[in-house]
Structure 1
Amino acid sequence: MLIYLLSRSESLYTTKRIFQAGINGKHNIRVINYMECDLLVEHGEYKVIYENEELITPDFVIPRIGSSVTFYGCTVVRHFQMMGSKVLNKPEGILNSRDKFRSLQLMVQGGIPIPKTFFSNDLYYAEQMVKDHLGYPFIMKVLEGTQGQGVFLVKNEQEAEALIDEHVSKKTRVILQEFISEFSGKDIRVIVVYGKVVATMMRQAKEGDFRSNIHAGGRGLIVELTAEEEQIAINSLSVLGLDMGGVDILRSDKGPMVIEVNSSPGFEGIEGVTKIPVAEMMMESIEQNF
């Protein structure tokens, strides 16, 4: 198979692992920086020009699209798709996962449990909504944030007023979410590929922090999923239209809840903790579903 791995850097851990898994599988795999792809429609044909070269149509495209360049990245993925290539994660699924509130809307529609969440264009009634529905403390998330950045634990009215005013003045879009105190500082990351759980770990925040992300200083631990959690993870990707992704789950007193789905999850933390070769398992699934 000719595979294009869309990534902005060949040196990233996950990019290197997927590339090596492709080589091990005896595929012709090439890393393409999607931000340097020029897209052309000519005489009813779709073409991609890369470094002054017209790329031949690949059999398969694996997108690793950064959150800050989602729009252009998805446009490139769609172009390859219209050229006739199969893709791991269609652009619509990536866009669904990147819009945090839209992803929550779709998951609720699909019967996936989530924490109580508030979103508004102007946040004028935000403090009242917190008092009436969320309570203190609560979580504030910047919609474009990743890897634990732009996530705040708001403990009281004074902090809420200051943060809300700050984000209103910057015109930053945020969501406010119920704080699950019984699972504070922890979450469960589940990697799902083509409807199958391939790896899972619990992420534990460093002392004094509530963010469990490895990039924020958290650590990974071995964890076993319940049957309910496994099905929730699989269903979450299905309702968002994703073939592959990372699902983040909290264990609340009301049962498991999904807080986020990542369409381009990193493999470094979960491979290091579980010793499961996620990249090779993903490549095997691609081969089986091609």
Structure 2
Amino acid sequence: MLIYILSRGANLYSTARIYRAALERRHNVRVLDHMECDLLVEGNRFLVVYNNEILLKPDVVIPRIGSSATIHGTAVVRHFQEMGVPVLNCAEGILNSRDKFRSLQKLAGNHIPVPASYFSNDLHHAEKIVKRTLGYPFILKVLEGTQGLGVHLVKNEIEAHELFNQFVNARTKVILQEFIEEFSGKDVRVFVVGTKVVAAMMRMAGEGEFRSNIHRGGKGVKIQLSEDEKEIAVRAVRVLGLQVAGVDILRSKKGALIIEVNSSPGLEGIEGVTEVKIAEEMIQFVEQNYSNENK
């Protein structure tokens, strides 16, 4: 198979792992920087130009689109889709997951449990909503933040007032979310490929930190998921229109709650903790679903 991996860097851990896994299974594989892909519509033909080269039509595309490149990255993915190329995560699925509130809307609308959440264009009534519904402390998240960036634990009215003013003045969109005190500083990362949970770990925040992201000093431990956690993780990925994703779950008194679905989840932390070869799982999924032999 001819496989294109869309990524900003061939040496990034996750990209390199997927590349090697594909190469070891004797596929032709190429890493393309999606920000360098030029898109051409000529009549009813869709062409991708890369460094002045018109690319061959691949058998499948594996997108690794970061949040800073969402607009152009999804345009590239959509262009390949218009060419009739299977993509491991489609443009619409990436957009669904990238906008945190859109993601919550779709999940809740499909009866998948999520924390109580609030979004407003101007936060004019936010403090009243906090008092009435969320209470203190609560979580404030920038709408398109990643790896724990733009996430705040707001402890009182003074902090809330300052942050609301800051984000309104900067015209930054945020969501407010209930704080799950019983699972503070922890979350469960579930890695889903297709309809299969391939790995799971619990992430725990470092000392003095409430965010559990490994990029922010958290550590991970391998865990066993309940059947309910497996089921809602797989359903969440399907509802958002994805094939491969990292699903973040909180274990609350009310049961498992999904807080986020990541369409370009990192492999390094979870592969290291669980010793599962996730990149190989991804390539095997591609082979089973997109190779000419299996069509």
TM over 0.5: yes
Could you say which TM-score interval applies, normalised by the shorter chain? Answer: over 0.9
Structural RMSD (CA):
0.6
Task: Tell me if structure 2 keeps the 8 A contact 1:75–1:91.
Answer: yes
How far has the Cα of 1:222 moved from its partner? 1.1
How far has the Cα of 1:44 moved from its partner? 1.6
1:240-260 Cα offsets, whole Å, 9 max, x none, are 111110000000000000000
1:202-246 Cα offsets, whole Å, 9 max, x none, are 000001111000001100111110000000100001111111100
Q: Which residue of 1 aligns with 2:199?
A: 199
Q: Which structure 2 residue ranges, 5 or more long, are not aligned?
A: 291-295
Q: Which structure 1 residue ranges, 5 or more long, are not aligned?
A: none
SS in 2 for 1:166: helix
Task: Tell me if structure 2 keeps the 8 A contact 1:187–1:212.
Answer: yes
1:58-106 Cα offsets, whole Å, 9 max, x none, are 0000000011111110110011111121100110111000111010000
Give 1:1-290 correspondences, 5 Å limit. Answer: 1-290=1-290
For residues 226 and 144 of structure 2, the distance between their equivalents in structure 1, rounded to whole angstroms, comes to 31
For residues 58 and 142 of structure 1, the distance between their equivalents in structure 2, rounded to whole angstroms, comes to 36
Equivalent position amino acid for 1:245 in 2? A
Q: Which residue of 1 aligns with 2:293?
A: none
For residues 98 and 49 of structure 1, the distance between their equivalents in structure 2, rounded to whole angstroms, comes to 26
For residues 78 and 108 of structure 1, the distance between their equivalents in structure 2, rounded to whole angstroms, comes to 26
Equivalent position amino acid for 2:85 in 1? S
TM-score (structure 1 length as normaliser): 0.99
For residues 29 and 146 of structure 2, the distance between their equivalents in structure 1, rounded to whole angstroms, comes to 28
For residues 44 and 105 of structure 1, the distance between their equivalents in structure 2, rounded to whole angstroms, comes to 35
Task: Tell me if structure 2 keeps the 8 A contact 1:74–1:91.
Answer: yes
For residues 25 and 67 of structure 2, the distance between their equivalents in structure 1, rounded to whole angstroms, comes to 29
Equivalent position amino acid for 2:9 in 1? S
Equivalent position amino acid for 2:203 in 1? R
For residues 191 and 123 of structure 1, the distance between their equivalents in structure 2, rounded to whole angstroms, comes to 34
How far has the Cα of 1:8 moved from its partner? 0.6
1:33-77 Cα offsets, whole Å, 9 max, x none, are 010001001132110110010001000000000111111101100
Equivalent position amino acid for 2:212 in 1? S
Equivalent position amino acid for 1:180 in 2? I
For residues 285 and 202 of structure 2, the distance between their equivalents in structure 1, rounded to whole angstroms, comes to 24
SS in 1 for 2:41: strand
Divergent runs of 4+, >3 A: none
For residues 127 and 224 of structure 1, the distance between their equivalents in structure 2, rounded to whole angstroms, comes to 39
For residues 162 and 223 of structure 1, the distance between their equivalents in structure 2, rounded to whole angstroms, comes to 39
Equivalent position amino acid for 2:54 in 1? E
Task: Tell me if structure 2 keeps the 8 A contact 1:68–1:144.
Answer: no
Equivalent position amino acid for 2:228 in 1? E
Task: Tell me if structure 2 keeps the 8 A contact 1:94–1:263.
Answer: yes
SS in 2 for 1:212: coil
How far has the Cα of 1:11 moved from its partner? 1.2
Alignment: residue pair count: 290
For residues 149 and 287 of structure 2, the distance between their equivalents in structure 1, rounded to whole angstroms, comes to 35
For residues 124 and 56 of structure 2, the distance between their equivalents in structure 1, rounded to whole angstroms, comes to 52
